[in-house]
Amino acid sequence: MSTTADLNSTSSPSHVARSAGPFCARLRAATSGRRFRPSWPGLAVALAVAAGCIQLGHWQHAKADRKLAAQAALDVRRGDAPVTLGSAPVDADAVHARPVVVRGHFDPARQFLVDNRIHREQAGYHVVTPLVIDGGDTRVLIDRGWIPANARHDDIPQVATPTTPMTLHGTAVMPGSRFFTLGPEADGWQPVWQNLDLARFARLAGHPVQPVVVQLAPDAPAGFARDWPRPDERVERHLYYAWQWYGFAASAGLIWFALAWKRP
């Protein structure tokens, strides 16, 4: 009974008034002798800054939404029946993120390493090897996973590649087409690439190439470390940045309001 009374007394109007009293006193002290004289050019600047921050917040939120949607699509497609890749070109959009099966033999002469790939905070490479698909001359790139870099960066690791026919399974993905490069890529064939550039490989290979890359499944043979990142990885970071930008937008308005109180 006394507990209920205490709660009622705590939330009573008189108690709220007593709690708000110190805040109102500080507000009166801060504005004492001042008048609200807003700067309209300052308001325009504050609104422009706030609008820009809100747009950046929306941009970060949209990135988070895209990652979540990509992960949802991947989760759904992982349950689909595997698609068998043959020599005939496939529709990249139709097989993207779906499990695939392909049979053929590796072409070590056109194997390359993709530089600057991190696995468990260690630098290394992804090993990408074209597979000659049975029944024709078409290739499909197989991302066989990650290997560590040697102590000297110019000491390129040697990779063992079987050439016997085998059946592989994994996930079909469409690699990006916009890359950040530290310098122009050489025109000729190079054993180390900065990015997994499917269009570049198709241009240099001289053979038909499927428009997707197969990320080798963890239990498939002839692979290395295969801890493939999730599309929604670090989505919380984008949401944090979004709310940070929204906070900056609110701060711009509050700063303008505070500076509008001026002494006569």
Q: What is the pLDDT of residue 17?
A: 52
Q: What is the pLDDT of residue 175?
A: 83
Q: How far apart are CA 132 and CA 203, in angstroms?
A: 16
Q: How far apart are CA 175 and CA 198, in angstroms?
A: 7
Q: What is the pLDDT of residue 181?
A: 52
pTM: 0.70
Distance of CA 159 to the CA centre of its chain: 29
Give, for all 264 residues of the chain, the pLDDT tens digit.
Answer: 444 444 444 444 455 455 566 756 665 666 566 788 888 899 999 999 999 999 999 999 999 999 998 888 888 877 788 999 999 999 999 999 899 999 999 999 999 999 999 999 999 999 999 999 999 999 999 999 999 999 998 899 999 999 999 999 999 998 875 545 555 565 678 999 999 999 999 999 889 999 999 999 999 999 999 998 888 888 999 999 999 999 999 999 999 988 888 776
Q: What is the pLDDT of residue 198?
A: 92
Treating both helix axes as pointing N-terminal to C-terminal, what angle do 40-77 and 235-259 enclose, rounded to 10 degrees?
170
Q: What is the pLDDT of residue 98?
A: 92
Nearest to 85 by CA among 98, 72, 75, 74: 98
Q: What is the pLDDT of residue 2?
A: 45
Are 112 and 161 spatial neighbours (Cβ–Cβ below 8 Å)? Answer: no
Q: What is the pLDDT of residue 8?
A: 46
